[in-house]
Amino acid sequence: MRRVLVRNQSSKIKYFTQNEMKRIFLAIENSHSKHSLRDLVIFRVAYRCGLRASEIGLIKKEDYNSDKGEIYCQRLKGSKNNTIRLDVISKEILDKYIDQEHILLDSEFIFRSQEMKPISRQTLDYLIKKYCAIANIEDKSKHHFHSLKHTTAVHLAESDMDIKELQWWLGHKVVSNTEIYFQFTTRQQERMYSKLNEKSEMV
């Protein structure tokens, strides 16, 4: 029964490939809109940290440690809060955005609307659809902001990160919520077969 459940859950998950994520980032960079820098930071931070749309709007100036390049992530839906260190590129872009927009001077929230309120889920959903269209992401079932969180999970699962590390990164309280993402990666399977080839006692 448990295996059937995992299979049914995994069939519903939509995520971007590595190539598709690069195309989305490039689409934002080349959009030349007045909010392109903000949008690029939002997408890179959401992808790096594995954040939901509703969690992006919660990031406050006090949650960002610019010296260490770390963001304290307040996670919803029963997930555990944690602190994620940004990659070099994302940190540089975030610092540039904060400096240009004077975020630390006049706003509690880093990512905000024109009304100085936290950016809304509706706005983020509009942006993901916009940039997916520009990037020619044909599968429209992926055109949702939550696909970024799934993408983070799958891409990390494809790396050398083990399941407990991925569980911590995503803020999952129970490991069963994390297991599903290892269904998508062939690298885990290849390592498994490699171990069997090297030390197998099977005949």
Q: Is the pLDDT of residue 2 over 50?
A: no
Convert 100-116 to b/e letters by CB count within 10 Å (16 or more is b).
ebebeeebebbbbeeee
Distance set, CA 1 to CA 9, 122, 151 (Å): 12, 37, 26
pLDDT in the model for residue 193: 67
**pLDDT tens for each residue of 87-121:** 999 999 999 999 987 766 666 889 987 777 889 99
* Token pair for 45: 């931070």
pLDDT in the model for residue 8: 44
pLDDT in the model for residue 18: 93
pLDDT in the model for residue 160: 77
Instruction: Report the candidate in 49, 86, 52, 57 with the shortest Cα–Cα distance to residue 70.
Output: 86
Query: Residue range 169-196: average pLDDT?
Result: 79
Please indicate whether residue 7 or residue 48 has the higher confidence score (pLDDT): 48
Please indicate whether residue 41 or residue 203 has the higher confidence score (pLDDT): 41
As a whole number, the mean pLDDT across the chain is 87
Fold topology of 14-148: hpI Integrase; Chain A (1.10.443)
Q: Is the pLDDT of residue 20 over 60?
A: yes
pLDDT in the model for residue 114: 75
pTM of the predicted structure, to 2 decimals: 0.85
Q: pLDDT band at residue 4, thresholds of 50, 70 and 90? A: very low
Distance set, CA 67 to CA 71, 85, 92 (Å): 11, 11, 12
The answer to whether the beta carbons of residues 181 and 157 sit under 8 Å apart is: yes
Q: pLDDT band at residue 154, thresholds of 50, 70 and 90? A: very high
**pLDDT tens for each residue of 110-151:** 998 777 788 999 999 999 999 999 999 999 999 999 999 999
